[in-house]
Amino acid sequence: MSDATIEVRGLRKRFGRTLAVDGLSFTVEPGTVTGFVGPNGAGKSTTLRALLGLDAPDEGQALIAGRPYHALRTPLLEVGALLDAAALHPARRGRDHLRWLAHSHGLPVRRVDDVLAQVGLESAARRRAGGYSLGMRQRLGIAAALLGDPPILLLDEPVNGLDPEGIQWIRRLLRRLAAEGRAILVSSHLMSELEDTADHLVVIGRGRLIADTSVSELLHAASGDRVRLRTEARTQAMELLAREGGRVAVTDRDTLIVTGLPASRVVELLTEARVPFAEVGAHRATLEEAYMELTRDKAEFTSATETADEVTR
């Protein structure tokens, strides 16, 4: 699976007056789960559709293992995709849907049972897809993506609408598939959904790249120099620490996160002023916090959808 790379180079795509993707470039390496993050309307689906040959780029390239989708000789064996799990014929049984796919792509029919087992859908496979829950549809969509055992996977919002157990399941599955050497690009408009799943992040806003970073680097940068503490005298502590140059955020009723002051100085100041406190320690940022930090200074980081709403309002 050595050439299992996804490459987007200077991609630009316009729909009428909307510039959906605006000169986007990034690469997804084999063996990693890359989260593709941005608010609604940021251009994620358009990029995935360009990679799958469903939208023709106006400029630039969207390449699967070095080639545009239409140049792939056996597409289902080279890339698997989940775009819209709801796009299923309601009268068709799950198993028949996969058999039809296998048949039309010249794949051995035994692959159907392999992928059904892989996604844990054996027991529901003979039921009609119209009666499937959203979670079952997602599993069937992922089974279809895995049918050709491809080294590259593109998944558009695979955890959308799933319950916590379903989210845990997808996380484990994606980690396992990446460990096998696959390149996986998984989109989400919620950073928190990618916690414990993605190794790498490509963050976009309004069709442009905002960050292309490893998760560990991002968390490290966002966690630096933050102190968490608990105090019953919240207002008093906040006033004091702010006066001494700290930036203070409240995370719940009695917990504060202080930026800009080392832990030793926080302890010293609170002790001197006899403000009661407990549990002072380094704060490890969540992925959501890191994302907020990353996008805080980007005034332009609003979704194209919001802008469209403003125009119509």
User: Interface with ligand ATP by CB under 6 A: which residues?
Assistant: 15, 18, 20, 38, 40-46, 189, 304-305
Give the nearest distance from C-beta 189 to ligand ATP in angstroms. Answer: 4
Token pair in block for residue 196: 């414990």
Taking the complex as a whole, how short is the minimal distance between the CB of residue 74 and ligand ATP, in angstroms?
Answer: 27
- What is the C-alpha separation between 256 and 233, in angstroms, rounded? 11
| Smallest distance from ligand ATP to CB 201, Å | 14
| Nearest distance in Å: CB 43, ligand ATP | 4
Choice between 20 and 119, CB closer to ligand ATP: 20
Q: Which is nearer to ligand ATP, 38 or 75 (CB)?
A: 38
**Nearest residue (CB) to ligand ATP, 185 versus 219:** 185
Q: Which residue's CB is nearer to ligand ATP, number 45 or number 231? A: 45
- Residue 232 or 309: which CB sits closer to ligand ATP? 309
CB of 101 to ligand ATP, least distance (A): 24
Q: Least distance to ligand ATP from the beta carbon of 29, Å? A: 22
Q: 84 vs 225, which CB is nearer to ligand ATP?
A: 84
